[in-house]
Amino acid sequence: MKYTTKTADVDSIRGGLRYIHGISSAHICWMTLFLYLYLLSPYFDLRVAVLHGGMLSIALLLGAHPAISLKAVQQVPLLVTFIGLCLFCLYNLTVFIFYTEVFATTFLTYMIQVALYILLGYVLALSLMIKSLDMDQVLTLCFKLVVFIVFVNSMIILIEYNFPPFRHFIESMLYQPENSNIDYLTREFRLRGMASGGAANLSLFHGTVLILLQALYVKKKIGFLYFVTASVTIFTSLLFIGRTGIVVAIIGITLFHVLNFVFSKEKLSFRRFLLYITIAGIVMAVPPVFAFLFPENVLSYSISFLYQGIEGVQQEGTTAALARMVNIPNEWPKLLFGVGVHSGDFSLQRSVDLGYMRMFTALGIPVAIAFYFFVAFLGKSVYSVTHYKSFWIVFMIIMFIAEYKEPFIFKGYSARLMWLIIGVGLCYRYSSLQSNCNKTASDYAQ
């Protein structure tokens, strides 16, 4: 199907789970279930076994569209992408041959996961393309459902904090690994809702959705009341998840509005003015309202460091702790070729959190940089065929910044969303080009 830039009809799902372009309410509920299981990937404790929500989502999508899945794996854009990922895997395996101290499959596992996430996005796009949805209609539908899922998860977290019996009920349904460093049943400021885990991973995702809410409201895809309610609820939930999302939201929302103002033809409108006033009002209301609603120990843990500027960030300690993990050896072969292990430590004596350091040890600095350029190139396929350009740029920037803290480009909720969208973008980007080429060829033939 030829990609179209007409997106006015996307507003037909303004109110939520309503009929759109031949997609029934039942189909939208099915998509909501898929996205919830795929993105938050909970582990359900069945007592006799553990049910992995992420695996269930894969079976749900591919099982519902076997013919489309078979067609997807035969598409040239997807095959070329898989070949690119395989080349990085082959290089990593080659390093193992010459550096055999430790054999670890972390990097290879991540590559398999990435390939699977892209495949899911491609299959999802093909299934909706058949229903004559264009790229922005698919993204609008997915984005609204993602916001809804995170909004509900945030409400669950706030209810858990205020009603401990409800927290016990939710945690009784979820699996808690014995080696987990966070006990979500007893840890006061660490809640996860109905997700597989919390902390920085979930915090980053909730913070990213706060940026996504800005994009949906600016593009008139959601109403003002829903925008404010969801934004306040999700932001408040970050007090009990982790501080990463708060920083991400502040930086991301600011950058989004700068880019959106530059790209937008309509520089000033009542809707945009109302949005800016609302954001300013929320920012000014947060300190006194939160001080009234929550005890001092909650605020001092979550947001007090922001009020002290750079000094507060330094005292918070995360930045300094990450900086101490940067360890560049003097052995240039290790720097150039890596050691084959996605651990972040060239001496292989420990494991560090920094995503970039992990990539340097797995592939060496030159090939690791090449991989990040490969990710950016795949991201460009989305940028080329969507009107969500401001959000997509900010999202990719946030992901590359977050990679400094942990390998968030590979793992976690935000990574799954990013790779799913890339799969959708690959489908629409190159289907569009192929349609244009076919049309041009037929014109010449005539």
Dihedral sign computed on CA atoms, order 401, 403, 409, 415: negative
Looking at the structure, do residues 155 and 298 belong to the same domain, yes or no? yes
How far apart CA 397 and CA 411 sit, in angstroms, is 16
Looking at the structure, do residues 121 and 182 belong to the same domain, yes or no? no
- CB neighbours of residue 39 within 10 Å: 24
Write the pLDDT tens digit of every residue in 169-208: 999 999 988 777 788 888 777 899 999 988 889 999 999 9
Looking at the structure, do residues 118 and 199 belong to the same domain, yes or no? no
Query: Between 259 and 305, where is the model more confident?
Result: 259
- The answer to the question of residue 411 being in a domain is yes
Q: Partners of 45 in the beta sheet?
A: 50
Contact 360, 338 (CB under 8 A): yes
Residue 304 DSSP code: G
Residue type, 99: Y
Looking at the structure, do residues 351 and 299 belong to the same domain, yes or no? no
Domain total of the chain? 2
How far apart CA 16 and CA 1 sit, in angstroms, is 26
How far apart CA 23 and CA 16 sit, in angstroms, is 13
Looking at the structure, do residues 269 and 281 belong to the same domain, yes or no? yes
Query: Between 422 and 312, where is the model more confident?
Result: 422
Looking at the structure, do residues 176 and 306 belong to the same domain, yes or no? yes
Looking at the structure, do residues 382 and 369 belong to the same domain, yes or no? yes
Looking at the structure, do residues 129 and 145 belong to the same domain, yes or no? no
**Average predicted confidence (pLDDT) for the chain:** 84
- The answer to the question of residue 11 being in a domain is no
- The answer to the question of residue 20 being in a domain is no
Residue pointed to by tokens 């049910």: 51
Write the pLDDT tens digit of every residue in 71-110: 999 999 999 999 999 999 999 999 888 776 667 888 999 9
How far apart CA 434 and CA 11 sit, in angstroms, is 28
- Chosen domain end from 282, 316, 350: 316
Looking at the structure, do residues 293 and 419 belong to the same domain, yes or no? no
Write the pLDDT tens digit of every residue in 263-321: 777 767 778 888 889 888 888 888 788 878 887 777 776 676 565 555 544 454 455 55
- The answer to the question of residue 60 being in a domain is no
- The answer to the question of residue 79 being in a domain is yes
Contact 233, 154 (CB under 8 A): yes
How far apart CA 142 and CA 139 sit, in angstroms, is 5
The model's pTM? 0.88
**pLDDT attached to residue 71:** 92
**pLDDT attached to residue 321:** 56
Looking at the structure, do residues 343 and 412 belong to the same domain, yes or no? yes
- Reported confidence tier of residue 20, pLDDT bands at 50, 70, 90: low
- Chosen domain end from 250, 281, 316: 316
- The answer to the question of residue 380 being in a domain is yes
Contact 204, 408 (CB under 8 A): yes
Q: Which two tokens stand for residue 112?
A: 């398999």
**pLDDT attached to residue 446:** 41
State which residues form the domain around 78: 65-133+331-439
The closest of 159, 175, 150, 157 to 36, measured between CA atoms, is 150
- The answer to the question of residue 21 being in a domain is no
- Chosen domain end from 291, 316, 341: 316
Looking at the structure, do residues 292 and 356 belong to the same domain, yes or no? no
Q: What percent of the chain has pLDDT over 90?
A: 54
Residue type, 438: N
- The answer to the question of residue 46 being in a domain is no
- Reported confidence tier of residue 18, pLDDT bands at 50, 70, 90: very low
Q: Which two tokens stand for residue 40?
A: 């938050």
Looking at the structure, do residues 225 and 243 belong to the same domain, yes or no? yes
